[in-house]
Amino acid sequence: MMRKHVYFSYLILLPMNKEEWFLPAVRHHERIDGSGYPFKLKGEEMSPEDKILQVADVFSALMEKRPYRPKMDVEKAMNIIRDEVKEGKLDKEAFEILGSTVRELNFEELEVGKELRQEMKSFLDRVVERFGDYVL
């Protein structure tokens, strides 16, 4: 199921708009060396937005507490992403953009706002209403 969420995102978003503005959301698990999913795209096949979202997604995942590990501090998360850049999995320019953003903001104190949570709940309610809860 973990890898299917990007495919389901594609199926949900495609009928809503004929333009492909949502493709970075579908491609956020791709990697520039072609090892990602769902399409195994390589760097030249992806947009700068795809690459930025990939780095942001990894950073977000590392900064969040997971059932199997505590959340990481910014320095450790950045070191892990730097290693993925060196391995050719994530884009160097996208990593540099993240680095400049991290220097400007205090990520240790950021919380998801109540308004954002309400918007997400509203969106998910519409998805379930249209496609059923089996999608989630």
60 within some domain: yes
- CATH code, domain with 51: 1.10.3210.10
Judge whether 106 lies within some domain.
yes
Q: Is residue 82 part of a domain?
A: yes
Higher pLDDT, 67 or 133: 67
Query: Cβ(13)–Cβ(25) under 8 Å?
Result: yes
Residue 132 lies in a domain: no
Model-level pTM?
Answer: 0.69
77 in any annotated domain: yes
Domain annotation covers residue 99 = yes
Question: How many distinct structural domains can be found in the chain?
Answer: 1
Read off the pLDDT of residues 48-97 as tens digits, 9 standing for 90 and up.
Answer: 989 998 999 999 889 888 889 998 888 999 999 999 999 999 999 999 99
Residue 42 backbone dihedrals phi, psi, to 5 degrees:
-105, 165
pLDDT in tens, 117-127: 666 667 777 76
Instruction: For residue 34, give its domain range.
Output: 4-115
How far apart are alpha carbons 68 and 14 in whole angstroms?
34
In a domain, 125, yes or no: no
Taking the CA of residue 33 as centre, how many other CA atoms within 13 Å lie in the half-sphere pointing to its CB?
9
Residue 68 forms part of a structural domain? yes
